[in-house]
A and B are shown apart, each in its own frame.
Chain A
Amino acid sequence: EIVLTQSPGTLSLSPGERATLSCRASQSLRNNYLVWYQQKPGQAPRLLIYGVFNRATGIPDRFSASGSGTDFTLTISRLEPEDFAVYYCQQYGSSLWTFGQGTKVEIK
């Protein structure tokens, strides 16, 4: 089973600042099945990024992502108030879906 480790656990930033979130896989993700979700309190996760770097429908372009192999990054260029949330990465491999433990982006 591929384990995803996200860092940092919590990111304390101010609106307008840049956020950089990391997701590291225990094995190389050869098929680029790396996805990012955003979850706000009391809500279900929302699809942000699929296929490593593709924004889902309706996701603003301040969200970008990159990576390959075992190291992946989600970047929020300028934090808006609505971006403070928990972000999860997720992968699919060997018929299993696994999620990272999440990174909370909180207001400093």
Chain B
Amino acid sequence: QVQLQESGPGLVKPSQTLSLTCIVSGGSISNGGYYWSWIRQHPGKGLEWIGYIYYIGSTYYSPSLKSRVTISVDTSENQFSLKLSSVTAADTAIYYCARYDSSAYDAFDIWGQGTMVTVSS
């Protein structure tokens, strides 16, 4: 079965770029019908969708973060990545990668375990 695993630094300095990678195992990222997404959760708060990428490289970002977000895909490595620039303390959160299944569920059916990123000097 498909599994997702986030990786990246747990601590980022203010004004720098947060970079995370999500490794997809148990299935190909190039299978159609899935939108590979990033979602974050501020400590003790709700969920915020950041954006998605389709395996051919098309992307869509949340308008509130669009100016700072880049999501890319590496089909050869079966992984996708998030870059969030000019971070501040407000970007401190648990970052999840998730698969949006647009064929069977129209929902985020598989999630990574999440990785905590703290923005601090």
Interface residues of A (CB under 8 A from B): 1, 33, 35, 37, 43-47, 50-51, 56, 88, 90, 92, 95-102
Contact = CB atoms under 8 A, between A and B. Distances in A.
B105 A99 contact: no
Nearest to B102: A92
A3 to B, nearest CB: 12
Interface in B8-48: 37, 45-48
B111 A90 contact: no
Majority DSSP secondary structure for residues of B touching A: strand
A100 B111 contact: no
Given A95-B60, A96-B62, A45 B106 contact: no
B108 A37 contact: yes
Contact of A35 (B46, B63, B106): B106
Interface of B: 37, 45-49, 60, 62-63, 96, 98, 100, 105-109, 111-114
Contact of A90 (B63, B107, B114): B107
B106 A92 contact: yes
A32 to B, nearest CB: 9
Contacts of B106: 33, 35, 50-51, 92
A50 B60 contact: no
| Top 9 A-B residue pairs of the complex, sorted by shortest distance between their CB atoms | A44-B111, A97-B49, A99-B47, A50-B107, A35-B107, A50-B105, A101-B46, A47-B109, A102-B46
Nearest to B45: A101
